[in-house]
Structure 1
């Protein structure tokens, strides 16, 4: 999926504000563009009002980016900026993502997140279950290691 440059700007704006730097989870602009150019990735945006059509000048509250392989989809990135959390926007965006995956014929969706990620509550509310752990997958700047938790949702 080729994204307009203003959508790339929106994704990067959310990424810079939503991902804590100490975990190194955020992608850089080049990684986002290259992933979207491959053709098996898709993304979605959500505005502060919950709409997916965000007028120029309006703040983008969140985004997702995913990758499709055959009949499975992996949620690569999912973020809501801190000032728009706890307003239902994460649930709304995740619901949109999952509904589109299901309508597209996906049999299941995967995601991976760091252990202790507060988004675990959101994913559990939508039916994701833990299927594995990658020990010491994430590294913090101080050298500590954090496990990655693999989750899936089957349709």
Structure 2
């Protein structure tokens, strides 16, 4: 086998990680789509019950994160981001699997997520067992006012 295997390290995150989360979002999300959250939005979400944050590192550098919340038997992946330099190295898959595992540990039966149409992450979600269950026309607004559809995906966890 040739090539280098990169091991993604995962850890539980918290409010102390918001500066890193903001930097990762700035690197990961194209500003023309307006998908990145502010630090205040992330802090507000982290203060709610049932919310968890997972941070991914490669070679001791934080390169990605996933933020999710659960209520009852359902959970939602709110954000998942990987720095461009760390993409195609298994980071996003490791983060998504960590969210799925934590949701299962919390007794969740279905995990939802929403993604902008045309987002390259759709291949990952489909590979990990998510199926498209809905669509919201013109849901996202980009920096220049353009509208983008939102696609909703779900995965049964039981």
TM-score normalised per structure 1: 0.88
- SS in structure 2 opposite 1:138? strand
Alignment of 1:65-84 (within 5 A): 65-84=67-86
1:101 matches 2:112: no
2:93 corresponds in structure 1 to: 91
Tell me, yes or no, if the aligned pair for 1:2 and 1:39 is still in contact at 8 Å: no
Structure 1 unaligned residues grouped into runs of 5+: 50-57
2:63: which partner in 1?
A: 61
Deviation for aligned residue 1:2: 8.7
C-alpha separation in 1, matches of 2:50 and 2:38: 19
List structure 1 runs of 4+ shifted beyond 6 angstroms: none
CA distance in 2, matches of 1:112, 1:39: 21
Pairing 1:35–2:35 present: no
Measured in 1, the distance between the counterparts of 2:62 and 2:115 equals 22
CA drift at 1:92: 1.2
RMSD (Å), alpha carbons: 1.6
Q: Paired residue for 2:120?
A: 118
Q: CA deviation at 1:93?
A: 1.3
